[in-house]
A and B are shown apart, each in its own frame.
Chain A
Amino acid sequence: MSSDAIDAAEPLRELVIRPRSGWIAIDWRELWEGRELLYFLVLRDIKVRYKQTVLGVAWAVLQPLFTMLIFTVVFGRFAKIPSDGLPYAVFVFAGLLPWTFFSNNISQASMSLVNQQSLLTKIYLPRVFVPASAIGSGLIDLLVSFVIFALLMLYYQVGASPRILVVPLLVLLTAAASLGVGLALAALIVTYRDFRYVVPFLVQSWLYVSPVIYPVSMVPKQWQPVLALNPMAGIIDGFRSALLGLPWNPVTLAVSSASSVLLLAYGLFYFRKTERSFADVA
């Protein structure tokens, strides 16, 4: 009861509700105060994901493993795509780590609002949290994939270097880019329902403009910065440098970092601009 007294001693907060229009500033204070809610939403997504099925954790293992096997056979063996002198399996898995994280985040985040409409129409909360929480469970999958990757490196006798310390930063960039795209798509899908059919197609096309199955070095030098406008280009390339000891490519990494941040900013503002009408159209 003592903390109630502290709450009561705070001056009453004044809240003004009025119609707004155009681009709306992001309420950082509200997001910070709601951080516990974000935590519980992330926890829910993780628990539900691993609780619902016996395959729960196995799924997180099998998905990247099978993708790697298929890619290795089709692109490594049949198409003989170069892999910067590394075993193709290791090479493609290093790309699949951020790519699977990125694409799952987009798919989950973009459907999060339409799948939880009562959070839009029955209550007010910082709505950005709903797509954002989808990324939390993606992180767990990513961790599982890292374990498989470590085993794979052991098997192929590929050593790790201290560069691995850059990985968290790259993961953060991936999260930023996917959140930006996920937020924009989630907002679009609430307003225009048929956009949900665009998402799988978008993700699939995005895979081919990202250097997952091929190395950036396959792209002509002068086009590499253009390729890097796709944030996943520089991030995947960075992953390979950090994990497999390939040389750094500062230009692609810089361009991709900038475009990740821009995507996130755009996603946040677009979401903010449209969220005020969510409950009207949901």
Chain B
Amino acid sequence: MTKLAIEVDGIGKLYRLEHAGTGTKSFRDALTDMARAPLQRLRRLRGSDKSMEDFWALKDVSFDVAQGDVVGIIGRNGAGKSTLLKILSRIVEPTIGQVTMRGRVASLLEVGTGFHPELSGRENVYLNGSILGMKKREIDRRFDEIVAFAEVEKFLDTPVKRYSSGMYVRLAFAVAAHLEPEILIVDEVLAVGDAEFQKRCLGKMQEISKSGSRTVLFVSHNMAAIRSLCSKGILLNRGRVEATGDAASVVDTYMSAEDGDLSSTKQFAKGSSASVWMKSAQILADGLPSSAIAMGSDISFKIEFGSQMALSQPRLGYVISTAAGDRVLTSNNRFQSSNPLAVPSTEGTMRCELGKIPLMPGRYSISLWCGDEGGDHHAELEALYFDVIERDLWGLGRLPPAVATMWWPTSYEVKS
């Protein structure tokens, strides 16, 4: 019988959301809260308190991981993946439940935690290594390997603030890659750096996963990586475990999940008297049907249309809005050139290529209008939903804060 490395038993994490909350609490707030507490409690008893909301980021999560398993954790934004990793890494405490882990645990939720810009590469390797839980003699022993992997031999005694972002990330990852814990917890951020370096990181992960001696929990939005690296998969949805099993089948479940509105394809009922109508709409990321789109992917959609009269040019307009309903962008081929059909037809498909839209992570909807030269005949408001998922586009090992809807790729030039 294989031994269990991790037993997760009914854990849950409760967050109290304050509706008018500003995030961080100040001491002044605590004092006023204290003064208000008796009143608040009374209101809560009567069920009329609307200022606090309980939110279970995780609920009733239970699963076991056998020693040597490489487990991929997948799920949409807000499914509870990072909360789960933080609980397993002992960063936050669960509200209920219990986790038992057997073996030395190391977690990587970020590369280069604790790196200090003023310190040299050498000094940061020791600092970061010990923050990650390595002993000094382990770092001594693996130092040359780490430096070779990062390819920074010449800059070892240069402060890392003078490193290029590529070098910085390579060094940070190199330290992490040489950890030798029994249980390794890895977040998405490892998919950083340039393509060449990413390949080496995945190679290193593969090496670890093939060795069979280490238990790995791995969160990723990269389904190809999950399929190739992981033996098992866990699908989280809204704080609960939705599916467990072998990685490939869990990935399939996830990809085909008809999670309410979130499917990549939607069929429409034919409008009764419409002269032009949409039969279906499909959203694609990098050419593949998907409603989970990593930042920076090519977004496109495909509309199947029908018409009572043969037409050479269906007219299509769309609006992309945020989940809150703010309209982000629009387009309409009535005002832009598009290629008409050579032979008019009563049905066909239209492909709309939007290219790389710099949307920040979050949920968006697409509303569609379809018609002919005479006007719009068929509207589908919020026809499709999609999630934009964080991805480290610039290889920095960190993600920009989502303070606006779009992240605009800007070129900066400094002159003195």
Contacts and interface: CB of A to CB of B under 8 A. Distances in A.
Whether chains A and B associate is yes
Given A4-B180, A119-B114, 12 more contacts: A12-B182, A13-B104, A17-B93, A17-B101, A19-B95, A36-B130, A40-B127, A51-B119, A118-B113, A123-B114, A125-B133, A194-B27
Contact of A122 (B24, B94, B113, B127): B113
B68 to A, nearest CB: 13
Contacts, number: 119
A39 B105 CA distance: 21
A19 B101 CA distance: 15
B102 interface: yes
B86 interface: yes
Given A123-B131, A124-B90, A192-B27, A48 B114 contact: no
B309 interface: no
Interface in A177-216: 188, 191-195
Contact of B92 (A3, A37, A192, A280): A280
Contacts of A277: 93
A18 B98 contact: yes
Contact of B107 (A124, A191, A279): A124
B136 interface: yes
Contacts of B90: 15, 17, 124
A191 B30 CA distance: 10
Interface string A40-59: 11011001100110000000
B81 to A, nearest CB: 15
A36 B136 contact: yes
A118 B30 contact: no
Interface residues of chain A: helix, strand, loop or mixed (majority) = helix
A121 B137 contact: no
Which of the listed residues B92, B101, B104, B118 has the most CB atoms from chain A within 10 Å of its own CB? B92
B109 A123 contact: yes
B368 to A, nearest CB: 41
B358 interface: no
Nearest to B11: A17
Contacts of A195: 27
A165 B99 CA distance: 50
Contacts of A188: 27
A99 B159 CA distance: 34
A279 B131 contact: no
B58 to A, nearest CB: 13
Contact of B93 (A20, A51, A52): A20
Contact of B94 (A19, A44, A191): A19
B101 A122 contact: no
B126 interface: yes
Nearest to B114: A119
Contacts of B99: 16-18
Contact of B119 (A18, A44, A125, A281): A44
Interface string B83-115: 000111111111111111111110101100110
Which of the listed residues B15, B30, B93, B182 has the most CB atoms from chain A within 10 Å of its own CB? B93
B201 to A, nearest CB: 18
A120 B110 CA distance: 12
B376 interface: no
Nearest to B88: A17
B87 A51 contact: no
B137 A3 contact: yes
A43 B137 CA distance: 17
A276 interface: yes
Interface of B: 15, 24-30, 86-105, 107, 109-110, 113-114, 116, 118-119, 123, 126-127, 130-133, 135-138, 141, 180, 182
Given A36-B136, A122-B113, A125-B131, A279 B92 contact: yes
Contacts of A118: 110, 113-114
Nearest to B134: A36
B105 A15 contact: yes
Contacts of B24: 193, 281
Interface in A5-23: 7, 12-20
B56 to A, nearest CB: 14
Contacts of B89: 123-124
A19 B93 contact: yes
7 contacts: A13-B102, A13-B103, A13-B104, A48-B119, A52-B118, A193-B26, A281-B25
Nearest to B110: A122
A141 B113 CA distance: 27
A16 B98 contact: yes
Those 10 A-B pairs whose CB atoms lie nearest each other, nearest first: A192-B27, A124-B90, A17-B99, A194-B26, A122-B110, A18-B98, A12-B102, A37-B130, A15-B101, A279-B91
Contacts of B98: 16-18
A7 B135 CA distance: 11
A186 to B, nearest CB: 14
Nearest to B123: A47
A15 B215 CA distance: 15
B16 to A, nearest CB: 10
A277 B136 CA distance: 30
B34 to A, nearest CB: 12
Given A47-B123, A118-B110, A119-B113, A17 B132 contact: no
Contacts of B27: 188, 192-195
Contacts of B95: 19
A43 B119 CA distance: 10
Contacts of B110: 118, 122-123
Interface string A135-146: 000000000000
Contacts of B141: 3
A105 to B, nearest CB: 20
Given A3-B137, A44-B127, A122 B119 contact: no
Nearest to B30: A192
A13 to B, nearest CB: 7
A166 B378 CA distance: 90
